[in-house]
Amino acid sequence: MDQQTNSHAVAQHRTAVERKSDRELAVTRMFDAPPRMVFKAWSQPDLFRRWWMPKSVTGVSILSCDMDVRTGGKYRLEFGAGGDTMAFYGKYLDVVPNERIVWTNEEGEEGEEGAVTTVTFEERDGKTLLTFHELYPSKEALEEAMMGSAAGLPEQLDQLEELLSGRA
Amino acid sequence: MVQYLSPSLDLSFAALSDATRRGIIDHLGRADASITSLAEKFHMTLTGMKKHVAVLERAGLVISEKVGRVRTCKLGQRGLEAEAKWIEAHRKLFEARFEALDEVILEVKQEEEDGSANE
């Protein structure tokens, strides 16, 4: 086998998450198929919506999925969870078929800068090393996402909600 | 990153998007500090700082202890573990995603093989 920095995690097909810097997070994983197939499953909306939010884990279902995966194209995803609706949207800054997709994650508030996500598909002996990299506009924005993540800290959110409703 | 349309989640985001409270957590991540020194650092009254610290304490992010006449603040267990927990939650989400993606890729592969076998 070839020498790779994260060969241990990769050999086990394990999903690895690393905080690269104050503003960056990276997720890596090996896939048992060439990059063009992984790219296809990522760039076609009918395929993408089948895996992006596995309902068994997230309890979230995809209501709509519009993706125009080419440089300058836009996307909008809507999710439903327990009567609430969430929307994710942005545009593709750079798309190189079978190699790379770069997109923005726009904030709800007008003109506010969000994170930029880059996913790369690298060939490794007929398989694909996938890297999902998020760059936040600031250290504070990354921390806010970490602190505020509903998936990450539900108990803490419950406590804060209680706290806030008491203050309001 | 995400536009949450749920009002309860918006409220939670609001709590932690308070610049002073974020600053306090950041500061305590580097060193413990007294309420007095925090008040000085963030240019506010003792009473104002006590209120912020109380909010963080109730969320378990900060703990404080009075020794003699000085109340010292440090990161609570939640504050210390928050990042590690979040990273693990993030990993679990991606692991689940990628397992589902494996299935989709297998189908794509199968279709391609069937396609070429029929040619």
Are the Cβ atoms of A160 and B59 closer than 8 angstroms? yes
Are the Cβ atoms of B60 and A161 closer than 8 angstroms? no
Q: Which of residues 46-75 of B touch A (CB under 8 A)?
A: 55, 58-61
Three-state DSSP at A161 gives helix
Size of interface A-B (CB pairs under 8 A): 151
What's the half-sphere exposure (Cβ side, CA atoms, 13 Å) at B7?
Answer: 2
Distance CA A117, CA A99 (A): 14
pLDDT tens for each residue of A106-147: 865 555 678 999 999 999 999 999 999 999 998 778 877 776
Q: Is B18 on the interface with A (CB under 8 A)?
A: no
pTM score of the predicted model: 0.66
Distance CA B68, CA B73 (A): 14
Number of CB atoms found within 10 A of residue B112's CB? 15
Q: Is the pLDDT of residue A30 over 90?
A: yes
Are the Cβ atoms of B86 and A153 closer than 8 angstroms? yes
Provide the 8-state DSSP code for A70.
S
Distance CA A64, CA A66 (A): 7
pLDDT tens for each residue of B16-43: 667 788 788 778 877 889 999 999 999 9
Closest in A150, A152, A163 to B90, CB measured:
A152
Number of CB atoms found within 10 A of residue B86's CB? 23
Are the Cβ atoms of A17 and B87 closer than 8 angstroms? yes
Characterize B91-106 residue by residue with b for buried, 16 or more Cβ atoms within 10 angstroms of its Cβ, and e for exposed.
Answer: bebbbbbbbbbbebbe
